[in-house]
Structure 1
Amino acid sequence: MAASKSWCDKLASVPTVGFRMLPHYASGDAIIDGLSPVLNRMAGIEKPSFQVVQQTSFDFQFQADNGFHYAIEPTKAVVSFRHRMKAKPTSGGPPIMEMMSSPLPYTALLQEAASRLVEAAPLLPGRKGARVLQRVGIMSVTTVDKEEAPPGIVRFIDYVGRPWRTSPEFFEITVASELGATGKGWKDRCIHTLKKSEEAESLLTIQLDWQREYEAEKALTEDVLRPLLVNCSGDALKYFEDVAEGSRFDEELISETAGV
């Protein structure tokens, strides 16, 4: 994991880490049985510190009180972070909202989400060797005023608005692109999504969904997954910083790259 402070830390971004796997259809009950070591660790004396969000024939989702959300599907295993609030009673007055989750930096939350996924994924039902990894996804979601957004994001929005000679006021922009970053047996891409609604005082939402797809499937074991996620997290953070810097939207650099 990169040690330097990320813009995602400064703007309180929240992470999602996910695996795409070969399809394996197991019942919701079988998934719960497999994840029982994770769930049992969240068992409190009076009540568990998690809530079941969804349980269907082949899916299972649950939300921990500390903000980490687990979602299991036949082809996916995902851990994301979502801030949680609860109403706290007060004496002689209305209840007040109290935060249950800790507002940690993005890089710390990313590391924790990755660690939780590495713990949970090998516990999923399926005969040994049948569950294998095909793709890793690391997402950053940031909600911010446009005036406080990273310069690269602002430059991107302005670049999209150039045909109209103005920066767009409200928009929903999605760009999926191969990154040209290939290694020994993988390829990278990122889905960039920027949204700003017409509602008064709406904020800009920046979603960067970095993905690495492997040519050869990876075993779903902790020994394989832990170093793999450390590498992916570092490369994803480097790319997020590159987007924030904004040189990709410099017209002169674009012309030089295109050979114009």
Structure 2
Amino acid sequence: MKQIFNFHALRNGEAIEYLDLLLAKSDPGSASVPGGYDVIRAQVRTVAGLLREAYARDPRSEQTDIIVQEDGNRDDCLAALFGIIGHFRSHPENAAIRDAAKKVFQKLSAHGTAGEIGKDDILTESATVEKIVTELRGRDMAPLVGLLPVEPWINALERSNSAVRQAFQLRGDERAPEQAGELKRLRQQASKAQYALVRRIGLYGEDAEWAEPWRSVNERVNELRTDFRNRLAQRAGIAAAEAEPGA
């Protein structure tokens, strides 16, 4: 079974560490494997190297970590908003909800798709997201949005967008958009590459009825992904605990 975790939630250093470990854990050793497997591993190795180089060139990596991580979070929130509202356009029982979802979705779509917005440079996306949140909470849209279960994602979207803007202000240098944009692009490539590798392990394993080396490779990769998923869960728990008001 493939263990799932949110690659976007990793800090830049963690993402690089994960990619390096993924390459080590997915190594089939001396076993004969399809040529396509080596190609995918090479893609992961290449993007990991580029990500490492870009991160090393960044003199203010702490703020860039926040920018890239929160940018990934807001991309996830946008995708969720578009997905949830899109589904409610075909609500099977409630016409009012269907109508509300169609109108809200139309308003969102005026800015493009979630994927298109996420591909904008970071500052442009920040401005777009701010406008979206303002519109969804405006006089015309708020009653319609209230019929849909999306408030948690709107709140999370606003928090992540604010965190991105604040981190840019803390950096306070003219190269911030360029460096953060480069890391964002490389992380998107890395996310696709690592997912393709994990998926290919599953496909080859199923085809071979989990004969070696696929059984061992799959077990090692699953353990790795579980470890990183637990790291993220622990960090989320610590953050939640620190946010609790004092007794």
Q: Which has the higher contact order (CA 8 A, sep 6+)?
A: 2
- Which TM class, normalised by the smaller chain length? under 0.3
TM (norm. structure 1) is: 0.25
More helix by share: 2
**Relative to total residues, which structure has the larger strand share, 1 or 2?**
1
TM-score by length of 2: 0.26
